[in-house]
Amino acid sequence: MPGARKIIIDTDPGQDDAVAILAAFASPELDVLAITAVAGNVGLHHTERNARAICELAGRRDMRVFAGCDRPTRRPLMEARHVHGETGLDGPDLPPPTMPLQPEHAVDVIIEILRTEPSGSVTLAALGPLTNIATALGRAPDIASRIAEIVFMGGAYFELGNVTPVAEFNIYVDPDAAADVFACGAKITSMPLDVTHRALATPERVSAFQAAGNPAGAAISQLTAFRDRQDPERYGGIGVPLHDPCVIAYLLEPDLFAGRFVNLEVETGSELTRGMTVADWWRRTDRQPNATFMREIDAEGYFRLLAERIARL
């Protein structure tokens, strides 16, 4: 599609990552230049394989998938197999992928794409720990000014944490990488738990994916069943948050979200509050605003968009 927005999807699939990637493939407004896998929900050998399996599910054997960092920048990896399953894609029985994993390291590819595409033309859609992106920025600081926008799922402020009392998983796994990304100077937009916890995949919304009548819809209805992860007290209703597709939905329909341009920092020193993101929502400090922190979501519109796009696959 002429004028499609060029994006790199950096991801740790991951059930919700899978839905996000499928929605991106279904959207001609987006030109997915590459998928770069990172360790997070499960180890890198699973996340890169899952990324290829998701590409094949969408009929995108042409997509270039790269493996990136297999551990956080400065800490050991903490996975979320209890959430996403041993392979990271519990639910559908996807066949092992046969499309190739590209040989280049994902970090090198992120740098190369940002240096060769016109400056300001490529957006980074980050769905997992920010390890690959921070490593690329550290190795090639010149790319920061060439990034159109970094839109990431991660963080929490008013909502508190999902992996500790105060930290969201993607940031908790690699808080040092998050700190480096938040300080890089690029345009940054965060999709924190403050919005994703209001994007609940209810049984009705899950059945809308099934109604697509295609393999992607069937797989997504299995990926989002999450029956064992209901927590009405936590989420204020039936259903389980569908985090990562918020990044893609924002790229497609930004008006589904609302937030504020604030200073966003992350705790990296304290083990008690490691990975806590601190949004200076009321500008209590003189720290310069560096990120748009989203706090509102039109959940009905979000799931309408996702269901409509998935039906196109």
Partner in contact with 169, chosen from Ca ion, ligand RIB, none, beta carbon below 5 to 8 Å by kind = ligand RIB
Q: Is 48 in the site for Ca ion (CB under 5 A)?
A: no
Tokens of 49: 């394989």
Partner in contact with 10, chosen from Ca ion, ligand RIB, none, beta carbon below 5 to 8 Å by kind = none
CB of 78 to ligand RIB, least distance (A): 11
| Gap between the Cα atoms of 236 and 309, Å rounded | 27
Closest Cα partner for 85 from 242, 223, 204, 273?
A: 223
Q: Give, as ranges, the residues between 74 and 113 that touch ligand RIB (CB under 6 A).
A: 80
Among 12, 79, 176, 267, binds ligand RIB (CB under 6 A): 12
**DSSP labels for 291-303?**
EEEEEEE-HHHHH
Q: Is 168 in the site for Ca ion (CB under 5 A)?
A: no
Residues 6+ apart with CB under 8 A from 224: 15, 16, 19, 91, 201, 205, 206, 209, 240, 242
Length of the chain, in residues:
313
Partner in contact with 168, chosen from Ca ion, ligand RIB, none, beta carbon below 5 to 8 Å by kind = ligand RIB
Q: Is 168 in the site for ligand RIB (CB under 6 A)?
A: yes
Question: Phi and psi for 145 in degrees, rounded to 5?
Answer: -75, -10
Q: Is 82 a catalytic residue?
A: no
Query: Which neighbouring-strand residues pair with 36?
Result: 10, 66
Partner in contact with 162, chosen from Ca ion, ligand RIB, none, beta carbon below 5 to 8 Å by kind = ligand RIB
Helix (H/G/I), strand (E/B), else coil: 22: helix
Given the residues 46, 84, 197, 243, select the one marked as catalytic.
243
Cβ-proximal residue to ligand RIB, closest one? 169
Q: Is 170 in the site for ligand RIB (CB under 6 A)?
A: yes
Task: Please identify, using beta-carbon distances, which residue of 177 and 262 lies nearer to Ca ion.
Answer: 177
Q: What is the 3-state secondary structure (H, E, C) of 109-150?
A: HHHHHHHHCCCCCEEEEECCCCHHHHHHHHHCHHHHHHEEEE
- Catalytic center residues: 243
Binding site for ligand RIB (CB under 6 A): 12, 14, 16-17, 40-41, 80, 127-128, 153, 162, 168-170, 243-244
Binding site for Ca ion (CB under 5 A): 12, 14, 17, 127-128, 244
